[in-house]
Amino acid sequence: MIMQTRDVALKRNERRQFLKLAGYGALGWITSGFRPVFGAPAFGQNKKTVLGSDFLPDLDISLAARPDEVAVFPGSPTRVWRYHAIIHKGDKGRVLEIPESYLGPIINVHRGEKIRIRFNNSIPEASIIHWHGLHVPAIMDGHPRHVISQGQSYLYEFEVKNRAGTYWYHPHPHGRTGPQVYRGLAGLFLVSDDEEQAAGLPDGEYDVPLVIQDRTFDLDNQLVYTSGRRMDQMTGFLGDRIMVNGLPDFTLPVSTGAYRLRVLNGSNSRIYKLAWKDGRPLTVVGTDGGLLERPANRRYAFLSPGERLEIWADFSDRPVGYETSLISLPFNTGGMGGGRRGRGMMMGGRTGRNQRLPNGAGFPIFNINVTKPVKNHLTLPDKLSDIESIQQDEAVNFFRPRQFFLTMRHMQWSINGREFQMEEVADDEIVELGSKEIWEFHNTGSGMMHMMNMPHPIHLHGKQFRVLERSGVMHESYVDEGWKDTVLIMPGERIRILVEFDDYPGMFLYHCHNLEHEDMGMMRNYFVRET
């Protein structure tokens, strides 16, 4: 059940600013009775929400969340919740369904385009869509206070300001994000731009999106989600079956050429330690916020929930018939999960609700088969993009970074000892529009609290940021280069990031992207105040 809102505990002058900027005058964006199948609806009386106003979209689609069935395995179809799209304006090839998958359509846009999305909620509980990684106004970001009930609609209109990269969308109702994503509500949002097109990367059939998730199915092929178990809430839900693009036992047929693999960790809580089975290095060309300046090689790389990696995979030196796999290597999660280190390679089968594939276990993710030769071969560019250098001394709090402590309090995950309240913003969560700040996250603890620590992938809404430094228990598996919106902090670590609040005032979220932690309240608002 959606958590009820509480009054804001702000000073009176902050309250006025909050009401002005955080969207309380924007309820006109919410409408009821919208039926995308029958064409454009009449929206509310607020003029700025009327279709055909001064906002002229390059892409105009309806996106409905509704119950569906998908034949995941032989036998009974699996009941899911799924996003479906109808295109009103724009090239139909810009919105692509994944065949036989429960995942939503892949939406393709270009930087600078204006996008209209008419979200209709047809599932039997409140929902809203968050555009993960996109830089959009607060009212377009999918804050849980904007949830709509079954039968209602929400109008999104925004300009794409992000660099080319791999982004995604998913529900964000408080207390129900985990189960709604688990039921199937998620999709990719891919942005292109001129810089990317000039980089000479693989495209077309050689540009492959890959959404990795873990799920548990019962013997009747139905999804099992034990959200009522306290331990699942504390640690995060883990499935025993690895799915890729919503499909089990995934195999990617490739030719003897170069590929751009866009990998999203769409799992609720599972962390992957990606590596190639044949021992070749991972060549990373992009992270959350788009292309790196130059390729980065890793023996292996962590990918936590919400994070993305773009990998250059070249099979030109492999013969037809060659097989390999992308695998997740065993690792120690530390703290509360430290005793769960995986041993050996294993793949969870459909064994029912009592079997688990632990976080940190080793297993294959998907197979690759080289099936045909090609004559034209791309070479890895030395330079991929231009990324401005980091100027830490421009941060207004350069000498005193803003501090965030990730802790457990009364068997409840929290940030700075606080749990989520729908409309609450503390004094130390207010930032000034136009400023740059250093934010420092601690996942350290002490004594018995150190033993209770877990990995936490921290996600900021509305902003991309740069990772400045890490300290504490160091791992070789991070890819912190480039622009990020989600960053993994393992037990015993401290991390500093640089964020610029250059535009878009209002209220946004920051939270752990372990969806069960988020639903428990490991999430807070931050407020960008216009001065």
Gyration radius from the chain CA atoms: 22
DSSP 256: S
At 80, list the tokens. 């899911």
Q: What is the pLDDT, as a whole number, of residue 409?
A: 78
Give the span between the Cα atoms of 221 and 76, in whole angstroms: 6
Contact status, residue 401 vs residue 440, Cβ threshold 8 Å: yes
Give the span between the Cα atoms of 489 and 306, in whole angstroms: 13
DSSP 484: B
Give the span between the Cα atoms of 98 and 102, in whole angstroms: 8
Q: What is the pLDDT, as a whole number, of residue 334?
A: 79
Task: State what percent of residues in the chain have pLDDT above 90.
Answer: 78
Predicted confidence band of residue 227 (pLDDT cuts 50, 70, 90): low
pLDDT per residue over 233-268, tens digit each? 788 999 999 999 999 999 999 999 999 999 999 999
pTM: 0.89
pLDDT per residue over 263-308, tens digit each? 999 999 999 999 999 999 999 999 999 999 999 999 999 999 999 9
Contact status, residue 324 vs residue 315, Cβ threshold 8 Å: no
**Is residue 269 included in any domain, yes or no?**
yes
Kindly report the CATH number assigned to the domain that includes residue 477.
2.60.40.420
Domain containing 513: what range?
392-529
pLDDT per residue over 90-107, tens digit each? 999 999 999 999 999 999
Do 186 and 212 share a domain, yes or no?
Answer: no
Do 62 and 129 share a domain, yes or no?
Answer: yes
Instruction: List, in sequence order, every beta strand (DSSP E) within 299-335.
Output: 301-303, 308-314, 323-328
* Cβ-proximal residues to 522 (8 Å cutoff; 6+ apart), any chain: 406, 413, 414, 415, 419, 420, 456, 511, 512, 514
Do 440 and 502 share a domain, yes or no?
Answer: yes
Q: What is the pLDDT, as a whole number, of residue 453?
A: 83
Closest CA to 151 of 61, 39, 48, 30: 30
Give the span between the Cα atoms of 236 and 234, in whole angstroms: 6
Do 312 and 399 share a domain, yes or no?
Answer: no
Q: What is the pLDDT averaged over residues 125-154? A: 98
Residue 517 φ then ψ, to 5°: -65, -45
Q: Is residue 338 predicted with pLDDT exceeding 60?
A: no
**Is residue 199 included in any domain, yes or no?**
no
**What's the burial of 428, exposed, middle or buried (CB within 10 Å: 0-12/13-18/19+)?**
exposed
**What's the burial of 492, exposed, middle or buried (CB within 10 Å: 0-12/13-18/19+)?**
middle
Give the span between the Cα atoms of 394 and 396, in whole angstroms: 6
pLDDT per residue over 10-35, tens digit each? 333 333 333 333 332 233 333 332 22
Do 115 and 257 share a domain, yes or no?
Answer: no
Do 183 and 209 share a domain, yes or no?
Answer: no
506 three-state secondary structure: strand
Do 215 and 320 share a domain, yes or no?
Answer: yes
At 427, list the tokens. 């004094």
Predicted confidence band of residue 355 (pLDDT cuts 50, 70, 90): low
**Is residue 377 included in any domain, yes or no?**
no
**Is residue 101 included in any domain, yes or no?**
yes
Do 428 and 476 share a domain, yes or no?
Answer: yes
**Is residue 383 included in any domain, yes or no?**
no
Provide the domain count of the chain. Answer: 3
Do 190 and 43 share a domain, yes or no?
Answer: yes
pLDDT per residue over 361-404, tens digit each? 999 999 999 999 997 789 999 999 999 998 999 999 999 999 99
Do 339 and 408 share a domain, yes or no?
Answer: no
Do 411 and 484 share a domain, yes or no?
Answer: yes
